[in-house]
Structure formats: structure tokens, C-alpha cells
Structure 1
Amino acid sequence: MRDDWRAGGFGLYVHWPFCAAKCPYCDFNSHVSSAVDMDAWQRALVSEVRRFGEELPGRILNSVYFGGGTPSLMDPSVVEAVLHTATDVWTPANDMEVTLEANPSSVEAKRFEGYRVAGVNRVSMGFQALNDGDLRALGRLHDVSEALQALDVARSTFDRFSFDLIYARQNQSLADWDAELKRALDFDPDHLSLYQLTIESGTAFGDRFARGGLRGLPDEDLAADMYFHTQELCEAAGLPAYEVSNHAKPGQESRHNLIYWSGGDYVGIGPGAHGRVTTDRRYATTTPLSPENWLAMAEAGRGELDREALSAIDQAGEYLMMGLRTVQGIDLQRYGALSGQEMPDGPLNDLIAAGLLIQSGDQLATTAKGRAVLNAIVTELLPD
């Protein structure tokens, strides 16, 4: 199945690891640094794009995503150099999406204009809350006023924009979330990413939770109520869910994320970036977490760790796990071609009868009820 990736497309992910501050809930590979050698990072990122371009010639590039960390701390010239190189080694799709993540505290109109000129056509902003007290509790450097100013800048600069919010926060009631989400929807965004707060080990929140110091978190029933209320409000506002945590107006879905969820190929460069690339077979790629180590390796000619060859079962399992996150779901014929086996009838029929899955011909998808318990569904269906 060397050509299976074509069903999902091809993208480039660029990880910028630096932040102005580390948020207590964040388990991404991010590092606080007072000074960054932009020229050195530009050379390393460009070098890695060229290396992959030589390995994967003739591709159509559907999307580029600058994630982090805080990519809006990058000089626009770095973004421009990466995009220039990417569209030199690969052919850009006519509708190529170029997304850059931004924190409201780092948004400046001049900088945003620089990103637009460089080729960015979509911005994703990490608001996380529309309440100053909760923003402080989440360790954010911006307040609501800054977030709204950043939104105005984004609207006036880019054709497409999105922002993130976190719910099921400490001491948050269903009424609180209802009011906050309605306020967010009043801004008429194209796209919203709405995440339930999860406490990850190795984070400041994780350590605090382990010590019994993170009080006021909602119980499972309240968190579930918030999830289902989110689906209802967004659907009514014209931003239906197209994935577990993502909502969009029709046609405004994140094309880059859809590459992940539909089993496409994507190159990952930068510290801690993951990728999936198909050459003689499909491989999982990883990079060192340390910015210093990655930079040194990239400068030496290869900013990548050893690759892992993915078996047919690995690929089928990933397609299942990622595809069922979306409203569209998976194609059972494609799944069978990858795994070499059919979906087990017993668990499949039980999950359909329980209203967690829906099947239409060869298409299998989760229902809204099913997406709320996705991990349990995937566990039942994963191939041996």
C-alpha cells in the first residue's frame, strides 16, 4: 500500500519550540528562551526542507503548518524562507493552506502583515479562555482585551482565522461555559478548536494534581454535559463538529489536520516534530526534543532520529484511530486493504447497536455520542 497516503494528501509541519512562558497545562515540546539566533534556525529549517524535498520529489504540497511553542515569535523572514524553499522543492497546490499559530500576547499588526506577505493565509490563535481570572490560572500572558485586539488584527490581515478555547476548567459551571462559548460564537469565527482540559503528567498542573492541589475540576458527568452542550451550540451557530475537538463553517476545516486524520503523508521538522513519510514503505519519523540538539544535528546535515518502519497493522490501527475522530470516519475497504483483514463483526455490530457508530455502505463513522468515548471504541476495534 505504498500509495495509500495519497488518499490523505501531503503536508509540512514546522515546529518552533520557543515560548515567552511555559503554560502549566502544556505537554507540548516548548522551551522558554530569552534569545534565539533567527539566522541559525532559518538555515537549519531550510536545510531540513531541502533534505526531505530531495527524498520525496514530485509531491503536491497541500498544506504547511507552523506550530509550537509560539510560532508568532518567529521573524517573518524565517517563515518566508521556509515557505520559499518548500514551494521550490515541491509543487504547491492551487489552494495550499499555510497556517501559523499565534498567542495574543505576541500579536503585532506589523508582524502579522509580515507573515501574510511571507505566504501565511490562515492564523490559529490560542485564546484558551475569555475570562481574565481563568487566563491567569492557566498561566497565559494575555488578558481578554489583548485577545480581542489580536482577533481584530487577524480579521483585517488574513482571510481565514481560528482560535482555541479550553473548557472543563477549575470551578467552571455549565452556565459559565455556555456564556463563554456564546460570546466566542458571536465573533463569527470560521473555525473553533474547543478542548477539554486534560491533566497531563510531567506538567505543572500534573504535579499539582498529584499533590491534591488542583481543586475545583469538574466531575465526569459535568465534563460530558459541557462536551454535548458544545456540540449543540456550535451546530446551531453553523460551526458543526468535523472532529472531536474541532468545529468549522463548511469549507473552513483545517486542511492540514485533515491530512493527519485521513492518513496522509506529512514531513515534520524542528525539535520534537513527528512525521509520516512513504518511500519504499511508510515510516514514522521523529526528531530530538532538545532545541540545541536538533539544531546541531540539522546543521550537521540531518535533524532526524532513526525512523520506524510501520507494519500493515500499524498503519491500519493509525487510520482507524485518527479517522474515527472525524465526522466523515473511515472507508472500510481502505481499512481492509491496509490491515489485510475485515473489521470484527461482533464488536462492530454491538457498537452500532449502542448508537456509538454508524455505517453507510463502506463508510464507518462515530456518532456524537461515540466521539465522547472514542478511546473505548478504538480499543474494541483495533486489529490484533
Structure 2
Amino acid sequence: MPEAGTRAKDWEAGGFALYVHWPFCQAKCPYCDFNSHVARTIDQVRWARAYEAEIARAAREVPGRVLRSIFLGGGTPSLMEPETVEAVVGAARAAWGFSNDIEITMEANPTSVEAGRFRGYHAAGVNRLSLGVQALNDRDLRALGRLHSAEEAVQAFGMARDSFERVSLDLIYARQGQTPDDWAAELSQALGLAAGHLSLYQLTIEDGTAFGDRFAAGKLRGLPDEDRAADMWDITQRLTEAAGLPAYEVSNHAAPGQESRHNLVYWQGGDWVGIGPGAHGRLTVDGVRAAIETERTPGRWLQMVEQNGSGESQRENLRALEAAEERLMMGLRLAEGVEMDRLRMLDGLVGRTDSLADMGLVDIREGRLCATTAGRPVLNAVLRELLA
């Protein structure tokens, strides 16, 4: 019983959130491995009812909680009608209490049609926008399969700033043909837009994507080598730090107080409900933490919700050791690190930590295990060693 109580306390340290997956896009980007689909017609009333039903089902399982955040991800959630968003937020409000500073985020693409809906989304309850800019020059936007121009991205950012209290920009670097100087100029331009939060991701080539197929066939040329990519990482840390947006997580940078509260729930080991096709969740019920997955195919998920009363496809109760391993993998991504007390199930961790500390890759400060500046770029290797 003490073990179960400790695990229940763990999720409370991170808080409670709701993730809503909208699976539809206007086009599939060649680098994207998310669960996204192109559809000619979407019955938004039907989808809104399904989301409402799933939220109500989750609330029956974990009643009485207080939501710290709601995140509308995808896909391209800015293809949702404002009325659909309003239905989701209203269902969540009816299901659980809202914290006084609840963060309600929507991912959006900066096309002019979607930007015109910003005020409608704000009226529906959204107070934070995550804008998927990805690049600030038209050549690279075309190569990434994006449907907007650099000018449209800048215009959409201005409109977002007029409508939302907080705005985040997403950019991808280490792109084809990109040099460190190119990235420094582009990042400086992004910082000049005065966003409070930047998500800066190095381009990764994933299996099952168009880029993955081209790479395997030797047709994806011009990707920077490891040294150039490392230079771009260093530029990212230096410029964001100087601009007052230090890295609080491996790929995320924010001014103080502008950190993504939703993602902090993930990284700090909180609980979240995941609804929509392909969504994942973590819920602690009766002291046991469960990993939950939903059906990935949109039509099948919708049918399951309507006919069976649940879109859930898989649930696995995590052993205390598995929960601690996950806590380490997520928490070490944060600059603040993870509390050593929450890793006590990991046998031999202290010895492995000492070895990595001697190499300057990790540090223990005030009872927290942290990756150092040298350790962050090689975090995957650090985690492999810690979990050996």
C-alpha cells in the first residue's frame, strides 16, 4: 500500500490535463509521422458529440479533479470550427474543475483562412496558440511541404498576438541545404517577432514518412552532417539565452512564466486524459498508473465511440519500476531535472549517475538529477546508460 500511495502522489506533482487529438490535415507533410489524415468532408457536429462523450466517460473514471490545461493537437486543429472547440471546452468544464490559470492551447497553421478564425477560437475559450511556422523562407517551406508562405506566417503571428494572451512558434532546423549562418539569421528573425515561447526541433527522418522513403532511396540530399547540426544546436542555445528565452526543456524555450503548462504535465509525471484517434493518456486510478491508447483510424475511432461507448483500444497498468523509468525519461528532458526520490525504484541508478557526472553529462543539485549543458545534446545516450 505505501507504494501505491507514493505513485498516486507522483501524478499530483505534475497535475492533470486533457489532450484532444484532431486527426485531419489539408495535406500530409513529408516529414510528419503523427497520426494525421486528409479528408474531403468532415461532419464536425458528429465529431464534437464524440469528443463530448469521451470526456464524460473519462470524468466518470476520474471525477473531482482539477484541469491544469487542455491541448488541442493534431493533425491541424485549426481546421476545427470554433463551435467544435467550444463544445470540447464546455464538456471539459462540465466534467472537471478548471484551475484559475488554466492553459487552453490550440495548434494552428498560418494560412490566411485559419488565421481568420483566431478570434472565434479565443471566444470559444482558447487562450494560447501554438503556430506551426516551421521555416521563415519560402524555398524551405516548399521543401517541407507546407502550404503557407513566410509572409503569411509573419502576418498570422501578428493576428495571433492580437487575439491570444500567449503565442508559441514552432521551427524546424538542420534542414536540407541549411548552414549554421542561415539558421542563426532565421532564428534571430523569429526572436525578433517577440514570441514568449519557441519550440525548436532538429529535423529527424522518420520511417514511414515521405522523407523516410526518400532518405532510404538516397534522394534526400543536403542534410547537414553531425558537426553542422551540433553547431546549430549551439547557436540555438546561445541566441535564445541572450534573448531571454532559455531552454527549459530540450527543444523548448520560453521567457519566465511562458512555459507550456500542458507539456510540463507530461514532463513532470502528471496524469492526462487523451481522446481522439491515436491519442495516448496516463491515468492513476486507485493508486495504479495506466498507459492508455485509443484507436488510430479516424472512422473506426468514431464508430467505436458511437457504438461501444469508448474509443480506447489498449490499457496497460504500469509496474512501479516502469513508472519510475518513464519518470526518468520524461523528467530529465527538463532543465530543472527530476527528483531523485521519485527514482528510488531504479536499482543501481546512483552508481551510473556518478559515472556520468564524472564525464560532465549529468549533475545532482538540491536532490534533483539534471542533464548538463554537455549532456542535453546527447540525452538519448545518457538515458540509455542510466536505464542500463
Q: Where on the TM-score scale, by shorter chain, does this alignment land: which range?
A: over 0.9
Q: Distance in 2 between matches of 1:381 and 1:239?
A: 29
Map of 1:374 onto structure 2 = 379
Q: Distance in 2 between matches of 1:282 and 1:177?
A: 42
Residues 221-300 of structure 1: pairs in structure 2 closer than 5 A: 221-280=227-286, 281-300=288-307
* Contact residue 72 and residue 107 of structure 1 kept, 8 A: no
Map of 2:90 onto structure 1 = 84
Indicate which of 319, 341, 356 corresponds to 2:361. Answer: 356
Partner-residue secondary structure (3-state), 1:232: helix
- Could you tell me which amino acid in structure 2 is paired with residue 161 of structure 1? V
The answer to whether 1:327 aligns with 2:332 is no
Q: Distance in 2 between matches of 1:297 and 1:175?
A: 51
Q: Distance in 2 between matches of 1:113 and 1:46?
A: 23
Quickly say closer, same or farther: Cα 1:107–1:312, change in 2 above 3 A.
Answer: farther
- Could you tell me which amino acid in structure 2 is paired with residue 68 of structure 1? G
Residues 133-282 of structure 1: pairs in structure 2 closer than 5 A: 133-280=139-286, 281-282=288-289
Partner-residue secondary structure (3-state), 1:369: coil
Map of 1:50 onto structure 2 = 56
* Contact residue 128 and residue 166 of structure 2 kept, 8 A: yes
Quickly say closer, same or farther: Cα 1:99–1:107, change in 2 above 3 A.
Answer: farther
Further displaced range: 2-11 or 124-133: 2-11
Give the drift of 1:306.
2.5
* Contact residue 50 and residue 302 of structure 2 kept, 8 A: yes
Q: Distance in 1 between matches of 2:89 and 2:112?
A: 21
Q: Distance in 2 between matches of 1:361 and 1:73?
A: 45
List per-residue Cα deviations over 1:335-365 (Å, max 9, x = no partner). 21xx2x4553332112111111111131110
Quickly say closer, same or farther: Cα 1:107–1:191, change in 2 above 3 A.
Answer: farther
Give the drift of 1:169.
0.2
| Unpaired stretches in structure 2, ≥5 consecutive residues | 1-6
* Contact residue 192 and residue 247 of structure 1 kept, 8 A: yes
| Unpaired stretches in structure 1, ≥5 consecutive residues | none
TM-score relative to the length of structure 1: 0.97
Quickly say closer, same or farther: Cα 1:152–1:201, change in 2 above 3 A.
Answer: same
Map of 1:117 onto structure 2 = 123
Q: Distance in 1 between matches of 2:125 and 2:366?
A: 41
Q: Distance in 2 between matches of 1:180 and 1:343?
A: 44
Q: Distance in 2 between matches of 1:264 and 1:213?
A: 42
Map of 2:321 onto structure 1 = 313
Q: Distance in 2 between matches of 1:45 and 1:124?
A: 21
Identity %: 60
- Could you tell me which amino acid in structure 2 is paired with residue 159 of structure 1? E
TM-score relative to the length of structure 2: 0.96
Aligned residues: 380
Give the drift of 1:2.
2.5
Partner-residue secondary structure (3-state), 1:193: strand
Q: Distance in 1 between matches of 2:72 and 2:230?
A: 31
Q: Distance in 2 between matches of 1:241 and 1:171?
A: 26
Q: CA RMSD in A?
A: 1.1
Q: Distance in 2 between matches of 1:140 and 1:110?
A: 18
Partner-residue secondary structure (3-state), 2:194: coil
